[in-house]
Structure formats: C-alpha cells, structure tokens
Structure 1
C-alpha cells in the first residue's frame, strides 16, 4: 500500500512535483533551487549522478546506495526512520497557527537556516504549505510540507526556537499540518534521524507508525 515510500523522491517527482523534476534517466532530482534531493526507481548510476553534480555540488540521494562507478566523492550515510499517520490526530489547539504567505518567506528562510542550514533553500516553500506560530511578533515554531505524491505528503521542517521549547508548539503544528493533509485526502508521512529519540517519541505519541528505515546518501563533488 505504501511501496512508493521506498523511493519517495522519485515518486514525488514522477507525480505531484513533476514540475520541479530534473530527469537524468533512472534517477530524478529536484531543481536545486527548491531541494537538493534525488532518487531512483532502482539504483542511481554514475552518469546520472555526475549530470546533477554539474548543477549542484552537495546533494542527497534517498533509498538504495548509489553506484558511483569512477566518480570520486565523499559518500556519507544518514539513516532515517520513516513514519506514516493513518488516523487524524485529535488535539485541542491552544495556539494560533498561521499559514505562512510569500511575505513571510524571508523570515521563514532565516529561521530555518539557524537550525537546518543545509536542507532548506530560498524556493523550498514552493513545494507545499508552511505553517507557523508567532510570539512577540516573531516566528518561533514552524512545520511544513515537502515531498508530495498524488496520495501522500511529507511533513517536514518541524522546528521550534530553542527559547520556546517545552510549550507543545511542535505537537500542535504537526497535528495541524497532518489534518490539512488528510483534508486533501492524502496520507501524511515523515522522516526523522534514527538517533533523534525525542522527536520519535513525540511522533509515536501522536499516532505515527514506524514503517521502516530509509538511507540518505550524501554526495559532494
């Protein structure tokens, strides 16, 4: 039922995010201005990797270990747990949650850059909706949508300012965003580093189910 999640980048670019697709054969990559991810229906090959490397110096391939051939690079590996949510989260919301508009994008970019400077680009908000909580006229917590297929949407960028932790903002944002995804008649899913025990406990408490693990292979030219 969720087999496409074995290759979420590939299927997102083959479906809902097709307009962002750079197709190099068996491997599809996002336009580097929105995301530096690639994925293959099978195994990414040297020629496909080198073509994207002409555009982007530092990127990730989701799924199977790429076949680098003679391509010289530092290949790193991040193991993530992949979760799905099959039932709506029942939660009372105590905070005002706003959908971020174009006028918020610069503040959103700078906010996420403080915590995850690699994964978020200037045009990443084009991939989906982003929602935030503001306190003292500043953005203090966000959650959004990243990879999207026709029937599934990834929850991403679950970030709270360190000065505002412990107030339940992430819980409310994840519940709110997943609810929006269900309204679209899609299934929410997300990825979290297998070492991030605190985040995994939160997601499991909210009802997310562990589907399995997925590798993210880092490639640097």
Structure 2
C-alpha cells in the first residue's frame, strides 16, 4: 500500500492523467477539477516545477511536500489528516433511495459541498468517479463519491449531508454503496478524515462501522503561488 503514501502523485501519473497537468517531479489536477497537487519527492526542484502549473495568487493542496522555496510559494496552512482503508466491509444493510449524480446535477453538488465543506470540491470534481446522492423536497441533501483513483485503490470523498437531514443514515448508506462498487472493481477503498474537524468523531464512527481501519496520519500543505 505504499502508493497511498502519495496517492495523488500515482493517480495523476496513471488512471487520472487526463484530469491534470503532469511533469517529471510535480503534478496537479486541473483547477476546475481539484486544487490537489502532488510532488514525486521533497526536493526543491519538485516545488519549482509545480509552480509552473499554478497562477500567481492561486493555491494548491499538496501531500507531504518539502520546504517551499522562497520567492515562489507562501505557506498558507497545514491540514492534518488521518487515512483509512477498507479491506473488507461488513455484510450490513443500509438501504435508502439514492440517485446517480451526473453533470446535470453539477451545480447542486457544488452548492451542497460549499454549504457543508466536506473538503475541496470544484465545478468538475464529479468527473473523477462515481457520485451518488439523496434527493429530498426537490433538492440534493446528501452525497458521496470518488476523487483520487489509482491502480488498485479508489478514494471515497465528498461525503456530506445537509444539516437539516443529518441523523437519517444517508452518509452511511451512500458510502456503503460506493465501497461495494469499488470492491467489485477489485479496488481497495480509502478515504481521509480531517483531524480536528467538527464532523471528525461522527465520521470516524460511521467509517469504522463500515469496516474502515486507520492506516496512518498525514498532512496536507496548502501553498499559495507568489
């Protein structure tokens, strides 16, 4: 599972290459796909190369980069994460009425993500994998999908529920469906939880119930291009 130490790098150099800009030591998703970027190593050269993919004033979120070279980057934030994998989900039922989400619901997906803040989500993030959701009263009120996908692994992402509809088991049911799809594709599901986020405790409770096990702790570094 060493690929999961730097999942975005392996995804952008593999299955998701068409969704990004890829160089010798640096890569990033297209801006309307995701702000996530990756470097092959912690060298200064990698971050210099990454700077060529980012316009001044814009930011990227990078897994485990080295020290940002002066004059190119400003360190904006460090976001601690825990990474979880699901080698074998339990045989539980969590049936609800859900729908497939496509480009037709892209605006609704973006609205829900901005209201609930499940992590970086842009106008075309939904292109990265399967997305499903729950519609109530004519509105999208819960969703889950896939983001970083590399050979043998797929990330569960954008798990969120409108505050008015929490406590109904929507997140658990949606994640379970995504996980089962990933396993049918012979992929190991994985996900990230922001350490210290308001939803951390509840999210971990749900994920452990679905068979996720903590793999390790990481940090996402937010860099702003000077």
TM-score bracket, shorter-length normalisation: over 0.9
Shift of 1:157: 0.5
Alpha-carbon spacing, 1:4–1:27, altered in 2? closer, same or farther (3 Å):
same
1:184 aligns with: 185
Distance in 1 separating the partners of 2:57 and 2:34: 10
In the superposition, the TM-score normalised over structure 1's length comes to 0.92
Tell me the equivalent position of 2:9.
Answer: 10
What is the aligned partner in structure 2 of residue 139 from structure 1? 140
Q: Secondary structure at the match of 1:82?
A: strand
Structure 1 stretches lacking a partner, 5+ long: none
**8 Å contact from structure 1 (residues 88, 182) kept in 2:** no
TM-score by length of 2: 0.90
Match of residue 26 from structure 1 = 25
- Alignment correspondent of 2:67: 67
Residue in 2 aligned with 1:43? 42
**Is the Cα contact below 8 Å between 2:94 and 2:176 reproduced in 1?**
no
Contact (CA 8 Å) 2:146, 2:156: kept in 1 or not?
A: yes
Does 2:208 match 1:204? Answer: yes
Does the Cα contact within 8 Å between 1:145 and 1:153 map onto a contact in 2? yes
The alpha-carbon deviation at position 89 of structure 1 amounts to 3.6
Matches of 1:132 and 1:72, distance apart in 2: 37
Contact 1:17 1:149 in 2 (8 A): yes
1:152 corresponds in structure 2 to: 153
